[in-house]
């Protein structure tokens, strides 16, 4: 590959009935090439020297406005995961959002952060290279209150660490919870049913048949017990996972392993939850696993969950690191 650096380019993508000109950036180290786009502040590729791509990502020919887009690699906001019944209250004010997932608001609404073009700025530190993407979400965007200035920076280090660093500020009280929606496949092809996952979580958020959070339960005796390494296949796998595990405050959040290649990824985060989604509705099915470090689902309506309220003068910050052992 080469020494640490940033390569820039342009491309044209399909977006519904139109096309968009986008900026592309490649973060390059001795062993990795990480491709990101300004469209959706999207992680497109994590490539090894032999061309193996460890994420299942969009391609130039894809329609990135398609309703079955799967949020592949995109930055998610304003609010990652579901807000139940597309409504929440802040103080004395009730906010009714657009429902785009049955009765719920999912991943920020129909035109979430994955659907917009972000401003981009290449960056370099002593031990890493990166790209900072920023966007303004205006007051009323998808019916969320307040102007929100959001940013995400992708960093790649010489020691194969990929870091997502998020920030946001607002001019009126609002709710914020961002994440990245990459689908990891350490084999670079096929499905993730030969992958093994371990998650540092004693509890999970249970849901009803409409995917509304109901209660926080112990993982003991359930198929959500990933405290010891668990294969992403077998009788307990069922139709796959789309559930949030409540992370313990100390230690790595998760470890994803692929035995045949020996590749392993360790995730560290300051977020309270890890959404596990095994690409149940993508084609091919189970082509990757999204490990979304984020706030707990429906937190705006759950005073028992960590707060996601952001107020003027405050700064929303979160960091998630992926340590790749190749």
Annotated catalytic residues are: 181, 292
Helix, strand and coil in the chain, % to nearest 5 = 5, 50, 45
Q: What is the helix (H) or strand (E) element at residue 156, kind and residue range?
A: strand 148-157
CB 213 within 8 A of CB 205: yes
Contact at 8 Å (CB) between 128 and 157? yes
Residue of 153, 144, 93, 73 lying closest to 120 (CA atoms) = 153
Beta strands across the sheet bearing 18-28 = 5-15, 18-28, 33-37, 42-47
The single-letter DSSP state of residue 177 is: B
β-strands 75-76, 82-83: how paired? unpaired
Q: DSSP per residue over 180-209, as a string? A: E--EE-TTSSS-STTEEEEE-EEEEEEE-T
Nearest residue to 168 (alpha-carbon basis) of 108, 85, 109 = 108
């Amino acid at each position: 590959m080469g020494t640490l650096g940033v390569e820039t380019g342009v491309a044209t993508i399909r977006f519904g009935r139109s096309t968009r000109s986008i900026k592309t950036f490649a973060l390059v180290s001795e062993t990795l090439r990480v491709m990101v786009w300004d469209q959706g502040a999207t992680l497109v590729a994590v490539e090894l020297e032999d061309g193996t791509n460890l994420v299942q990502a969009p391609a130039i020919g894809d329609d990135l406005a398609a309703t079955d887009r799967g949020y592949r690699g995109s930055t998610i906001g304003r609010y990652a995961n579901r807000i139940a019944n597309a409504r929440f209250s802040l103080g004395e004010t009730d906010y009714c959002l657009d429902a785009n997932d049955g009765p719920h608001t999912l991943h920020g609404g129909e035109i979430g952060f994955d659907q917009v073009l972000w401003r981009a700025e290449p960056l370099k530190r002593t031990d890493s290279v990166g790209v900072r993407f920023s966007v303004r979400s205006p007051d009323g965007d998808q019916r969320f209150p307040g102007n929100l200035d959001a940013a995400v920076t992708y960093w790649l280090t010489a020691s194969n660490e990929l870091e997502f660093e998020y920030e946001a500020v607002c001019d009126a009280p609002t709710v914020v919870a961002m994440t990245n929606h990459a689908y990891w496949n350490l084999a670079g092809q096929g499905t993730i049913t030969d992958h093994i996952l371990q998650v540092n979580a004693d509890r999970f958020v249970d849901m009803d048949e409409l995917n509304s959070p109901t209660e926080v339960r112990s993982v003991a005796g359930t198929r959500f017990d990933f405290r010891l390494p668990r294969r992403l296949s077998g009788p307990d796998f069922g139709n796959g996972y789309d559930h949030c595990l409540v992370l313990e405050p100390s230690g790595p959040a998760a470890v994803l392993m692929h035995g045949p290649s020996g590749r392993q990824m360790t995730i560290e985060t300051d977020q309270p939850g890890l959404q596990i989604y095994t690409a149940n509705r993508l084609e091919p099915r189970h082509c990757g696993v999204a490990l979304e470090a984020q706030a707990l689902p429906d937190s705006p309506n759950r005073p028992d969950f960590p707060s996601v309220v952001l107020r003027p003068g405050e700064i929303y910050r979160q960091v998630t690191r992926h340590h790749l052992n190749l």
